[in-house]
Structure 1
Amino acid sequence: MNIRTQAMQAYSSAATPTRTERDREYEAVAKITHRLRAEADRTPVDFPALAEALHDNKKLWQIFATDVSDAANPLPQDLKARIFYLAEFTHQHTSEVLARRGDVAPLLDINTAVMRGLRGGAA
C-alpha cells in the first residue's frame, strides 16, 4: 500500500456525511416499519414474530411521546400534540391488533407518513 492510498483511506471517513437526528429517527421508523410489514405479509402469520415487531413499534412511539412531552422540545406545539396523539393511537391500536381485532395497516400508514415527513415529503 502506498502513501497516497493510506492517505485516501485515512480521510475517507471524513467525507461520509454526518447523520442528523432526523436521519436517525427515519432509520428507526423505517427499520420497524419494514419488520411490521414483513411479519404482517407472512403467510401464515408468525404471530409471536408479529407481536415482537408490534411491541418494538409501540416502544418507538412511546419514545416519541416522551420526547414531545418535554418542555425543552423545540417542535411547534401543534406538531408535538399531533405526534402525541399518534403515539396514543398507536398504543391503543396495537392492543387491538394483538387481540386479533385490528389490522396492522393503520400502523404501517402512520409510520410511512412519518417517514415521508422526516424526508420532507419524499419517502
Structure 2
Amino acid sequence: MSLNAYQRTRTLAETPRATERRLIGQITGELFSAHEAGLTGARLMPALHRNREMWNTFAALCGGPGNTLPDEVRASIVSIGLWVDRYTSKVVSGEESIEPLIDVNRSILEGLSEEVLAA
C-alpha cells in the first residue's frame, strides 16, 4: 500500500478528535524538539508558525457558523488562540520562553486523550 493510500484511509477512519489529537501532538513534538535543540528567536519560526497557524485555525472554526461546541468551550479556544498569537511574537523577539506554548499544547492534548478514554 502506498503512503498516499494509507493517509487517505487514515483520514476516512479517524475521528475529528483523533485528528486534532494527532495534529497537536505532532506540532507539540516539533516545539519540544526545537526547544531541546536550544533553538531561539527566529530559528524557532518553523515550529512556532505551525503552532500559531493551528491555533488560529481552531479559533476561526470556533467563531464560525455551525460549530456545535458549547459556547464556553468555543470562547476558551478563541482565547487560547489569541494568547498563542501574542505570546509567539514575544518568543520570536526573545522576550519569552517557548515552554509555556508547549505546556498549553500538552494540557489540551491530555484533555483530548482523557476525552477519548472516557468515551
With the shorter chain as reference, the TM-score category is: 0.7 to 0.9
* Residue of structure 2 aligned with 1:40, choices 25, 35, 38: 35
2:82 counterpart of 1:94: no
Q: Is the 8 A contact 2:41 2:93 kept in 1?
A: no
Instruction: Give the 3 Å change call, closer, same or farther, for CA 105–121 of structure 1 in structure 2.
Output: farther
Structure 1 segments of 4+ aligned residues over 4 angstroms from their partners: 46-49
Give the stretch that moved more between structures: 112-121 or 79-88: 112-121
The structure with higher relative contact order (CA 8 Å, sep 6+) is: 2
Q: Tell me, which stretches of 5 or more residues in structure 1 are unaligned?
A: 1-13
Who is 1:8 aligned against? Answer: none
Instruction: Give the 3 Å change call, closer, same or farther, for CA 121–75 of structure 1 in structure 2.
Output: closer
2:20 counterpart of 1:25: yes
Q: Is the 8 A contact 2:61 2:67 kept in 1?
A: yes
Write the letter of the residue equivalent to 2:37.
Answer: R
Who is 1:110 aligned against? Answer: 104
Q: Deviations over 1:25-69 (max 9, x none)?
A: 1111000000000001113x2655421100010000011011100
Aligned equivalents of 1:47 and 1:66: distance in 2?
A: 26
**RMSD between aligned alpha carbons?**
2.1
User: Larger C-alpha radius of gyration, 1 or 2?
Assistant: 1
Who is 1:119 aligned against? Answer: 113
Aligned equivalents of 1:103 and 1:57: distance in 2?
A: 14
Aligned residues: 107
Q: Tell me, which stretches of 5 or more residues in structure 2 are unaligned?
A: 1-8
Aligned equivalents of 1:51 and 1:20: distance in 2?
A: 30
Task: Say which SS state the counterpart of residue 120 (structure 1) adopts.
Answer: helix
Higher helix share: 2
Task: Say which SS state the counterpart of residue 119 (structure 1) adopts.
Answer: helix
- Percent same amino acid among aligned pairs? 26
Cα shift at 1:19: 1.1
Aligned equivalents of 2:115 and 2:103: distance in 1?
A: 14
